[in-house]
Copies of this chain bind each other. A is one copy, B any other.
Amino acid sequence: IDNAVAGDNKIKLTSPTKLPNATGFLWNSSMVMQVNCRGYVNSQFMQPEPAKYSYAPNMEAKSFIQPEHSYFTHHPGRFFYLKDEDSGEIISLPYEPMRVELDKFSFELGHSDITWSIEHFGLHISIKVNLTKDDLVECWFFSVLNLTEKTKNISIYPYFTIGYMSWMNQSASYNETLNAIVADSVTPYQKVTDYFKNKQFKDKTFFLSDTRPTAWHANQKVFEGEGGLHQPSALQAELLENVEARYETPVAVMQFKQQLLASEGKSYQFLFGPAKDEAEIAIIKEKYLGHRQRSQTEKSYRDYIAQSKACLTINSDCDNGNGTGNNGFDDFFNHWLPRQMFYHGDVNRLSTDPQTRNYIQDNMGMAFIHAQQTRKAYILAVSQQAISGAMPEGVLLHQDAQLKYINQVPHADHGVWLPICLSVYLNESADVSLLSEMIAFADSTAEQSFASHIELALDYLINATDHRGLSFIEQGDWCDPMNMVGYQGKGVSAWLSLATAYALTTWCDLCVEYDISISKQKYDEYRFAAQAINSAVNKHLWHGQWFARGITDDGRVFGTNEDKEGKIFLNPQSWAMLSGAANQDQQAEMIAAITKQLTTPQGVMMLAPSYTAMVEDIGRITQKHPGVSENGSVYNHAAIFYIYALYQAGQNNLAFDLLSKMLPSLENAQRTGQLPIYVPNYYRGAYHQLPKQAGRSSHLFNTGTTSWLYRCLVEELCGLKGCARGLQIMPKLPTTLKHLSGQRLFRRAILNFTIEQSSEVTAVTILLNEQKITGNILTNLQAGQHYQLQVKVAMTA
């Protein structure tokens, strides 16, 4: 896409129409906002459950965040109408709702702010938003500069959507003391008990200004009038008429009439957010309004986001167009991916009951940033385990939190994740003390060691198998909507069986590597069970060229060539490679089948062909739209499992190729529709069925992909992986990537490294501070010390 360029660590988009759905996102521990390039905003805060302060024009359902979010005229937004008082012309910034073509437009995503830089009417306009580290407030900064030699008269009208707040009570007016539009509402409820629950709700929305407005408007319908949002009637008059909203849809509009001499500039600061009462608004005003406050806030928020710095920075050939054709390859791995990973790990997708599998995997990513947080999360997770060994559906993060939505449906996979994801924590920290932490259970106060919790989870999984030795799927496994394969209690999952084998093997490997105390009997039992599962999967689920996905309650094997739709699923193949179920020949056949049937320009689809009609012994997944989410999209979480498995199998070229396809870039933005600041949970699949839509991003930045993608970068591509004795060096460069340098932070040692393919070597050759190392493990690295690491690997064919 020619009009989007990278620079200054910012991603820039210079057209509001080329990627109309492009967004950036900002968050803190209490709120998140997704900001669209055209001025629309999705925002919510936690009290503790998600709530709004800028609402849709109707009563919107409370739900989890949906993919492919759709915008419409009255979608919540933050707009600035601007009137040239000399000519009477009006535009709206950044673009909506008037959609006037601007002389210059740039939407710029920084790590801790989002800005627009615009020129029109001979004015330069800059609009910027950031959050604060802790509070519930959007901080907006609007500045305008007269680029001409003539005096200009303008009016600026910030228009911030408040929307339909409540059928019980909604109103808004200008509060002179606060110099704010304050909207008031009562969250609708009907039961007395809810009154007490809701009592602390922040039911007000405020729009604070540092400048006293010339006039104001708080009534959406009257403001808009017959003109419509694209030509509001209220802007026809010289002054807004100071109209309040009384059980009418509120809006926050102010008018600032301003004369600008030649080259004169003027700036405004606005604060927008929810509050319980005027006193809270006054505190926010005091804390954040003003020049000093603004720079302090920007700094502290920048510092907060900067905590997302992870353990690796790279400088690759990819940037020079030699590797991936992705100019932002390094930038994405150095900044944007850690930022996204930190978001997941630090605030857990702003959910009060993250799914256990997400919680564990998201916190695996935190091990690369701040391992102490991973430790805490894993302890919290097992503290909610049942004494039976069963892991909960979701981890409750708040005392009033409840399992909601999909967490009310029983899934069989939650036990496999801890042993698998624990590797990364141990690799990064070598903190084996975690294993002997004593922790109670959800249903028992008797404490057992963390290691015992893991073994209880594994025992539970081993027992949850049928007569064939395959794992019951209940109403879903990793794949939530595969809910009718085994809802009658008999259906089994190939993937879950393999994941169980892999979890068992991983645990045994960890016990060996990190010298974790395990009884010989248990150890043998686990190794045996993993073998047995692999054998059972081979016996019952290998079908010609690949592994089937499972066996239904009625004994039907599915996910084979005999199916018309859902012939081949990605996950069983990936995990058969991980678990050791697939031998070399099988791996080759599987990879060939995947390459042929599942690979697309955006990566590997989760299944194909996508289902186009309900299959009653498979379930809800088959009812989803073809190519969307689990029904055969390029579901990146599944794709990254495959990539990780390919690395384990030594398929470095293929792994890198698919990893590159997964990454959003300026080059593929026109196809995906998103900017390269996060990896989305999916790209549309059904590549052969619906080619026109294929490749589109879900625009959802919540995804289990992040931590695995980063793991692939650190442990596999760069091959700088922790182990008991130190840092193991085993890069897996693809043929196209000849050279890679960077910095690895490892157990507080700092290693500046170069990795290159060299015809001079046939195996990994390592120089540490110019000293040759025997073997490929760096031992005795000292915290705080700087090292020069030079790695040469054999040329790949």
Spell out A's residues near B (CB within 8 Å): 17, 56-63, 66-68, 70, 72-75, 99, 164, 167-171, 186, 189-192, 195, 221, 226, 228-230, 246-249, 405-406, 408-409, 475, 483-484, 487, 619-620, 623-628, 684, 690, 692-693
Contacts and interface: CB of A to CB of B under 8 A. Distances in A.
A503 B616 CA distance: 55
Nearest to A689: B246
Nearest to A405: B190
Contacts of A620: 168, 189-190, 195
Greatest chain B CB density within 10 A among A58, A61, A168, A627 is at: A58
Contacts of A230: 228, 230
A627 B247 contact: yes
Contacts of A626: 246
B168 A624 contact: yes
20 contacts: A59-B61, A59-B66, A61-B61, A68-B248, A70-B164, A99-B226, A168-B620, A169-B628, A171-B625, A186-B623, A186-B624, A190-B405, A190-B406, A190-B408, A190-B620, A191-B408, A192-B409, A192-B483, A230-B230, A247-B627
A68 B171 CA distance: 14
A488 to B, nearest CB: 10
Given A230-B230, A247-B627, A70 B57 contact: yes
Given A72-B73, A167-B67, A190-B405, A690 B226 contact: no
Contacts of A17: 226
Contacts of A191: 408-409
Given A70-B221, A169-B623, 5 more contacts: A73-B73, A191-B409, A228-B230, A246-B627, A246-B690
Q: Nearest 3 CB-CB pairs, A to B?
A: A57-B72, A247-B625, A73-B73
Contacts of A221: 70
A493 to B, nearest CB: 16
Contacts of A75: 57-58
Copy tally for this chain in the complex stands at 2
Contacts of A58: 56, 58, 60, 70, 72, 75
Contact of A192 (B73, B189, B484, B690): B484
A484 B199 CA distance: 14
A437 B11 CA distance: 78
A61 to B, nearest CB: 4
A693 B246 contact: yes
Contacts of A168: 620, 623-625
A272 to B, nearest CB: 21
A68 B170 CA distance: 12
Contact of A625 (B60, B169, B623, B627): B169
A20 to B, nearest CB: 8
Given A56-B58, A60-B60, A74-B72, A247 B693 contact: yes
A517 to B, nearest CB: 41
A686 to B, nearest CB: 9
Nearest to A221: B70
A763 to B, nearest CB: 49
A73 B70 CA distance: 15
A192 B189 CA distance: 28
A58 B164 CA distance: 13
Contacts of A684: 247
Contact of A247 (B56, B169, B195, B628): B628
A405 B190 CA distance: 7
Contacts of A690: 246
A60 B58 CA distance: 7
Contacts of A693: 246-248
Contacts of A248: 68, 70, 693
Given A57-B72, A61-B59, A73-B73, A228 B624 contact: no
A15 to B, nearest CB: 11
Given A74-B73, A247-B625, A693-B247, A484 B195 contact: yes
A66 B483 CA distance: 36
A228 B20 CA distance: 13
A484 to B, nearest CB: 6
A657 to B, nearest CB: 27
